A = this chain, B = another copy of it.
Amino acid sequence: MEKKVSGSVINRLPRYYRHLTDLYESGTERISSKELSRRMGVTASQIRQDLNCFGGFGQQGYGYNVEALRAEIANILGLNRGYTAVLVGAGNMGRTFVTNTKFESRGFKLIGVFDNSPEVIGRRIRNFEILDYAQIGRFIKDNRPKMAILTVPKHAMKSVAEDLISMGITAFMNFSYAELEETDGIIVENVHLSDSLMRLSYKISVSEDNSKAREN
C-alpha cells in the first residue's frame, strides 16, 4: 500500500492502534465509527475521514473489522518490521521506560541497555544486564541496532548522540531535556514531559479565566 497519509492523520494513528488493540484483546470483532468515536472522544466523521485513507475497512451500517483495521495500522506504522533498539542511560527514566513500555508491540525489540556509571553497570533491569557504555561501539557493530533511546542527562545528550551517529545509528528517541535536531538522514522523536505540564497549565488557566468571565 502507498504511504501517502497526512501528518496529522499519522499523529493520530498510534491512538487508533491503542484503542483497536484494547478492543481486539477484549474479543471485539467489529465496531461502528459511532462507538469508536465515543470511546476515543473524537467525532465519528473524523474517524471515517481518517480511516478512509486506508481503504475499505468500514462498511455502511456494519462497522470496522477490528482485527483487519488494527493489522493495517500496524503495517502502516511499521510495527511488524522488527526494528531493534538500544537504550543509553539506565537512570530513573531509563529504568521506567524499560520496565513499563511494551516495546515489542510498539515496533521495537530492545536488545541492549547501557550506562557509564560503575554503580549500575552489571545490574539488571527486567531481563537486561546493564552494559558498559564504553563497549557500545563493539555492540553496535555486532548487532546493528536501528534506533537508540537516550535517557541520559541533558548535558551528556549531544556527545552521546554524536558518538552513536558516528557508529551508524540513524534514529533516536530522545528523553533528555535538551532537544536533538533532526538533520539529514537522522530521524528523531524528542519527548518532553514538561511540555505536557505546560499545556495543562495553559488549559487550566484558560478555563479559570472563562469561569471568571462568566461570573462577571
Contact = CB atoms under 8 A, between A and B. Distances in A.
- A contacts with B: majority SS: helix
A181 interface: yes
A212 interface: no
Given A198-B13, A198-B77, A203 B191 contact: no
Given A92-B95, A203-B171, A198 B100 contact: no
Contact of A200 (B187, B193, B198): B187
Given A41-B182, A108-B201, A200-B107, A195 B18 contact: yes
A121 interface: no
Contacts of A207: 170, 187
26 contacts: A3-B206, A10-B202, A14-B192, A14-B198, A15-B179, A15-B192, A17-B198, A77-B201, A77-B205, A78-B201, A78-B206, A83-B201, A92-B95, A92-B99, A92-B100, A97-B193, A103-B197, A106-B194, A107-B198, A107-B201, A108-B201, A173-B197, A189-B197, A189-B199, A191-B193, A191-B196
Given A14-B195, A170-B207, A189-B197, 6 more contacts: A14-B198, A18-B195, A92-B100, A95-B96, A101-B193, A189-B196
